[in-house]
Amino acid sequence: MMKKNYLRFLIAFFCLTSNFAYAASPRDIRLATNTGGSSIAYWTTSSTNDIIQAAVLPAGGSWSTPVDFAITGLDFQGPRVAINSSGNAVMVWYTFDSGLKKLYASAYDATLATWSTPTQISTNSETILDDFYVKLSDTDTAVIVWNSFWITTGLVTAEALVNTLGTWTGTATISN
């Protein structure tokens, strides 16, 4: 009987401690690569909130120190990355804030080896539905598309943002 109780204790202890260890561990890791040999690994991890981290491997180089994408009080989730042949990239993700699912974005400049400050690209009058997609052309044109439910009108629309790398203005409704 004592062995069974001890075994139960060990199993419970392992389950509890492994869950705590996992909470701050990388999860949902993904990889974006280009034809030039550059890569960006990105994942979600927990701190006070869920944050996104990314590490860049430039062609012929070595992995960068991971960069945190975080805003105090917000859980960042569902990152998507597009990288072009120059190694420039766009990352888009979502968060829930004030009852709305909002999109944020950041741009990576391969020449400067820096990410831009996370910027909200959806409005405070819409909540994001379904999924979203991001592409980046070799001429640094970023295209981001998503579905939105508009709080003020009750309409569901398809939205698009097409702009140069790191510019987050000019969202347009592309559906009727």
Number of domains, the chain:
1
Residue 73: inside a domain, yes or no? Answer: yes
Residue 166: inside a domain, yes or no? Answer: yes
Digit-coded pLDDT (tens) for 33-72: 999 999 999 999 987 889 999 999 999 999 999 999 988 8
The residue written with tokens 């927990």 in the block is 46
Torsion angle of C-alpha atoms 168, 84, 63, 65, degrees rounded to 10: 0
Residue 10: inside a domain, yes or no? Answer: no
- The pLDDT value given to residue 48: 84
What pTM was computed for the model?
Answer: 0.83
Digit-coded pLDDT (tens) for 140-176: 999 999 999 998 899 999 999 999 988 888 899 999 7
- Percent of the chain at pLDDT > 90 equals 70
What tokens were used for 160?
């698009």
Residue 117: inside a domain, yes or no? Answer: yes
- The pLDDT value given to residue 131: 86
Query: Looking at residue 89, which CATH number applies to its domain?
Result: 2.120.10.10
- In our burial notation (b when 16+ CB lie closer than 10 A, e otherwise), range 18-36 reads eeeeeeeeeeeeeebebee
Using DSSP's 3-state secondary structure scheme, residue 11 falls into: helix
Range of the domain at 49: 26-173
Residue 4: inside a domain, yes or no? Answer: no
Residue 115: inside a domain, yes or no? Answer: yes
Q: Residue 85: which residues within 8 A CB-CB, separation 6 or more? A: 34, 35, 36, 138
Q: What is the DSSP letter of 14?
A: H
Residue 5: inside a domain, yes or no? Answer: no
Digit-coded pLDDT (tens) for 162-171: 999 888 888 9
